[in-house]
Amino acid sequence: MARPSPRLLIAGALLTLAAAATAARQGSAPRAALPFTVISADARRPLAASLVGETVMVSLDDLAALFRLTVRDDAVAGGVTVGYKGRTIVLTAGQPLASAAGRLVSLPAPPSRDGRRWLVPVEFVSRALGPVYDAKLDVRKNSRLVLVGDVRVPRVTVRQEAAGAQTRVAFAVSPRTTYTVSQEPSRVLVHFDADALDASLPTFSPQGLLQSIRLSESGQTVTLDVGPRFGSFRTSTAPLEEGGIQVVVDLLPAAAEPTPAVPTRAGPPALPVPPLPDLPPPAIQPTAGALRTIVLDAGHGGDDTGVKGATGVLEKDVTLAMARRLKSVLEGRLGVRVLLTRDADQAVPLDDRAAFANNNKADLFVSLHANASARQTVGGAQVYSFSAGRSPDDARLAAMPPQVLPTVGGGSREIEMIPWEMAQVRYVSESASLAAAVEEQCRDRVRMNPRAVLQAPLRLLAGANMPAILVETGFLTNPEDETHIASEAFQNGLAQALVDGLLRYRDVAAQPRPRQGNAPGAGREPVRRLP
Ligand SMILES: [Zn+2]
């Protein structure tokens, strides 16, 4: 772009000021949001997104780089002109419209200034750029995809259900897409022959043999993490009326109840049966999903006292007392390894806390705190999990170019690198389930805040490479809470509730336990499930 004249600069600065003032008035300064992935036949590229009010916006500069557009400010009219191969799109400040090659199209919100950048609703891509662009452009907002040209991105809707000892996962796939299902030590991979998946995964709660459902980084594989009781799987396919297919994956237990003998009859051979349950254990023991190691983090410590209550109760003391109590209850009831980020009144840097959990390959990370409020009346416990929605790190994540790595056997594959500090983005939904399970168990035993389950972009949790929650045990600024939090009765009750919550999260049946062999009743114990 040519060097702008001083007059334009001043006009631009005034516009920026005006925009900033508007943004401040409406409380709508852009917040970072999870990035989109732009999928074309030959590449996957990230596209940073932000939220202005409730509208998902992308920057015109980013679109210009991705789609070879020119972006020209029209300072006098207060708008911007986007060019592509001699065709133009005109946007006017304050108007939720665009003129694309002379045709007016509507947008969910007007373009918005963010410093020197213009932000436009992501729908701009399909509605305004689509009509002037050489290839088809499609925005799949829910799965955060922008599709360029003819790419194969089937819609995949996943459901889970327990059926007796087995767990069924059903995939509605449209249009029909070929797939393969394979097994690894602690997971079953359902891979689709597609450029990406427009996937909608269930709000997951661990159930039966299934620990979690997630979309792989490559975006073409749905990973079913299975617990230690998992033995094998069975798949079947059926056409769907709407033209797609339904793929059913049945997860079968390893130490299954003895399969009732199928009466032998003349006729077609029986369906293939799962591998025999008496096989020796695999060389690699399944670990994913099992609760082996839990890291408890006593908030604050040393010079960092945290919140101080009116009668002198210090947050750093109650968090340590709680962590120790919880450790002994967890070890006693679950027989798991419990590690504390600190076991003394000492300072531990914020980033070292999640790093400690990562280094110890913890399966869960639970941080304990006590809250403060300017209003004394505010009280009760709260359970937080991480959300990336407003984290400034999000923009960095989105800005990182995909890395191309050589693969064994030649060729290369593209993987998305997640910065270490953002490890938690993979566990957002699992952590939310964990928070919900813990809150549910706390509800009956501990006074809860009206807003008891929350998500926030907490830096403490961002680096944890496992499901993670932060429990605010109550408000030390609330006199009643202060008395409670310091009391043994409250701490015991909360510890019990937390243990039950963790158990609730990871189905009791998935816990490693002494093998009962073929003792009578083995495999017949009642399985606790989430309702
Ligand atoms: Zn704290």
Mapped to the 3 state alphabet, what secondary structure does 84-100 carry? ECCEEEEEECCCCEEEE
Dist. CA 527–CA 290, nearest whole Å: 15
- pLDDT of the residue at 217: 74
User: Residue 329 Cα, ligand 1 centroid: separation in angstroms?
Assistant: 22
What's the start-to-end Cα distance of the chain, in Å?
60
User: Residue 394 Cα, ligand 1 centroid: separation in angstroms?
Assistant: 24
User: Residue 374 Cα, ligand 1 centroid: separation in angstroms?
Assistant: 15
Q: Output the CA torsion sign for 89, 91, 96, 99.
A: negative
- pLDDT of the residue at 226: 86
Dist. CA 420–CA 294, nearest whole Å: 20
Question: Whole-prediction pTM value?
Answer: 0.44
User: Residue 503 Cα, ligand 1 centroid: separation in angstroms?
Assistant: 25
Residues recorded for the chain: 531
> Comparing C-alpha atoms, which of 58, 36, 38 is closest to residue 195?
38
- pLDDT of the residue at 241: 74
User: Residue 202 Cα, ligand 1 centroid: separation in angstroms?
Assistant: 33
In the structure, ligand 1 is a single-atom ion and the residues with CB under 5 Å from it are 299, 306, 369
Dist. CA 164–CA 523, nearest whole Å: 12
Q: Which residues pair with 294 in a beta bridge?
A: 338, 364
User: Residue 356 Cα, ligand 1 centroid: separation in angstroms?
Assistant: 18
- Secondary structure string (H, E, C) spanning 376-420: CCCCCEEEEEECCCCCCHHHHHHHCCCEEEECCCCCEEEECCCCH
Dist. CA 247–CA 251, nearest whole Å: 13
User: Residue 306 Cα, ligand 1 centroid: separation in angstroms?
Assistant: 5
User: Residue 428 Cα, ligand 1 centroid: separation in angstroms?
Assistant: 21
User: Residue 426 Cα, ligand 1 centroid: separation in angstroms?
Assistant: 24
Q: List alpha helices for 245-402, DSSP H.
A: 315-334, 350-359, 393-399
- pLDDT of the residue at 231: 82
User: Residue 470 Cα, ligand 1 centroid: separation in angstroms?
Assistant: 9
* One-character DSSP codes across 89-154: EEEETT-SEEEETTEEEE-SS--EEETTEEEEETHHIIIIIHHHSSS-EEEETTTTEEEESS----
* Residue type present at position 84: Y
User: Residue 499 Cα, ligand 1 centroid: separation in angstroms?
Assistant: 21
User: Residue 299 Cα, ligand 1 centroid: separation in angstroms?
Assistant: 5
- pLDDT of the residue at 419: 54
Dist. CA 167–CA 514, nearest whole Å: 23
- pLDDT of the residue at 205: 67
- pLDDT of the residue at 149: 92
Joined together, the tokens standing for residue 189 give 């991979």
User: Residue 360 Cα, ligand 1 centroid: separation in angstroms?
Assistant: 23
Joined together, the tokens standing for residue 311 give 């009668």
User: Residue 307 Cα, ligand 1 centroid: separation in angstroms?
Assistant: 7
User: Residue 54 Cα, ligand 1 centroid: separation in angstroms?
Assistant: 30
- pLDDT of the residue at 506: 76
Q: How do residues 175-220 score in pLDDT, each as one tens digit?
A: 888 888 888 778 888 988 888 898 888 776 677 788 888 888 778 8
Q: Output the CA torsion sign for 375, 379, 385, 389.
A: negative
Question: In which residue ranges of the chain is pLDDT below 50?
Answer: 1-6, 8-27, 256-289, 390-418, 508-531
